[in-house]
Amino acid sequence: MKINWLSRVSTLLCLALVGMLISKLTTAQADTLIGTFTVNYRYNAAGQAVNQSNPDYTKANPCFGNTIPPGPIFVPNTTTPGQYRLVTVSGAGCGVWSGDCTGGTFWATGHGPGEEVTVSGTFGQLVLYYWDWIASDNDPGVQTTIEVYKVSQNRPPVAKCRDMTVAAGSDCSANASVDDGSFDPDGDPIIVVQLPAGPYAIGETAVTLTVTDSKGASNSCTATVTVKDAEAPVVTCVPATNPAGRNLPKAGNNPRRLNPSGFFQLIATDSCDPSPQIFIQDSASGFVAGPFTSGEEVKITQAAGATPNSKPMAGVIVAHIHLKGDALIYAVDEAGNKSDLHPCMVPPKSK
């Protein structure tokens, strides 16, 4: 209720140093008790009761320096913006000054125990002090006891995301969490859900992380999961049939397992790339022929005085490759992973 400036009232002033909004709210079960405070009747330095007719009246207000001992009660832990509930335990009740130090409006909960007022807004600190408006009503025995509560306000959880890059497994996929330490500022239990769920295929996948607290408040963030193929292909070469129908020499007569005919089938396998590219490198010159695909057949000729080159051919044999040194083959998959070098040995031609 609004109090007329000329009316007689003994009240406890609950002052917020910065502007506030005042509203009555019902008691919240989860409110936190900050403390119970008893404010005594105030006197000036001469032992006179502080009232409207006394020249020291304004000094009782913290806005005007408050030189009257014992001083106001600055309620601890009330500097954080929010809602604070003041409940009269005993005494004259609780009044609230809404406004700045130069003007405003008084509100009150009444004068009976259990009545309350809730202050909400942003202010410097909650301050309690008592004074009497009427000089003839100076009762030095008056005390008012007030309980001050921090009104519980559920804050939503904080969702924190980060982009993730992971290596693919043998099945060319991987799991990854983009959660970067999501939390609830009130300490409530949280449930974290990432959609779409893993495992994730090779490439980039946009995901949304949603964090929900035990009271149903939620928050979300987005990130990217990047799965990379980090496994190199495997490459080999096997002697191929000579189109002219000649037979290969037996192993006993070929201790270096050379392929005198020089015909090879190139084979490469990769867990994630069905068609890795195959290249043939000259060990003596650095010349590289290719790319070829797995299953293709080539003719390799080694001659120390030859100019390395690769000539396309028609039919089963796709290329005839002339090298100075040994033929070293390797494969490269779609992700750029390169296999180890594998030799495809042929006997060098005589000079």
Contact by Cβ (8 Å): 293, 277: yes
- Give the pLDDT band (50/70/90) at residue 134: very low
Mean local confidence (pLDDT), 101-113 = 50
Mean local confidence (pLDDT), 108-136 = 59
d(CA 64, CA 101): 8
Return the minimum-mean-pLDDT range out of 1-5, 92-96, 154-158, 164-168. Answer: 1-5
Q: Write down the pLDDT at residue 123.
A: 56
3-class secondary-structure state, position 174? strand
| Helices H / strands E in the chain, number of each | 0, 25
3-class secondary-structure state, position 323? strand
3-class secondary-structure state, position 64? helix
Considering only residues 264 and 91, tell me which one the structure prediction assigns the higher pLDDT. Answer: 264
Burial class, 261, CB count within 10 angstroms (exposed 0-12 / middle 13-18 / buried 19+): buried
- Give the pLDDT band (50/70/90) at residue 245: low
Q: Write down the pLDDT at residue 87.
A: 85
Predicted structure pTM score: 0.53
Contact by Cβ (8 Å): 26, 38: no
Considering only residues 73 and 157, tell me which one the structure prediction assigns the higher pLDDT. Answer: 157
Q: Closest Cα to residue 343, out of 233, 264, 247, 253?
A: 264
279 pairs with which residues across the strands?
A: 330
d(CA 145, CA 114): 11
d(CA 119, CA 31): 13
pLDDT digits (tens, 9 = 90+) for 314-330: 889 999 999 999 999 99
Most trustworthy range by pLDDT among 5-9, 134-138, 171-175, 183-187:
171-175
Q: SS3 helix, strand, coil % of the chain, rounded to 5?
A: 5, 45, 50
> Measured over all CA atoms, what is the biggest interatomic distance in the chain, rounded to whole angstroms?
132
d(CA 85, CA 115): 10
Contact by Cβ (8 Å): 321, 298: yes
Contact by Cβ (8 Å): 31, 112: no
Q: Write down the pLDDT at residue 132.
A: 45
% of the chain at pLDDT higher than 70: 62
pLDDT digits (tens, 9 = 90+) for 10-68: 333 433 332 333 333 333 346 889 888 877 655 544 555 454 444 444 444 555 455 44
Instruction: Kindly write down the DSSP assignment for every residue of 26-46, as one continuous string.
Output: PPPTT-EEEEEEEEEPPB-TT
Q: Which two tokens stand for residue 242?
A: 């000579």
- Cα distance between the two ends of the chain: 115
**350 pLDDT more than 90:** no
d(CA 349, CA 306): 10
Ranges for all domains in the chain classified under CATH 2.60.40: 164-228
Task: Work out the mean pLDDT of the chain and round it to a whole number.
Answer: 74
From residue 104, give the alpha-carbon distance in Å to each of 22, 57, 100, 229, 237. 12, 17, 6, 69, 93
d(CA 328, CA 345): 8
Neighbour count for residue 230 (Cβ, 10 Å): 13
CATH code: domain 164-228 is: 2.60.40
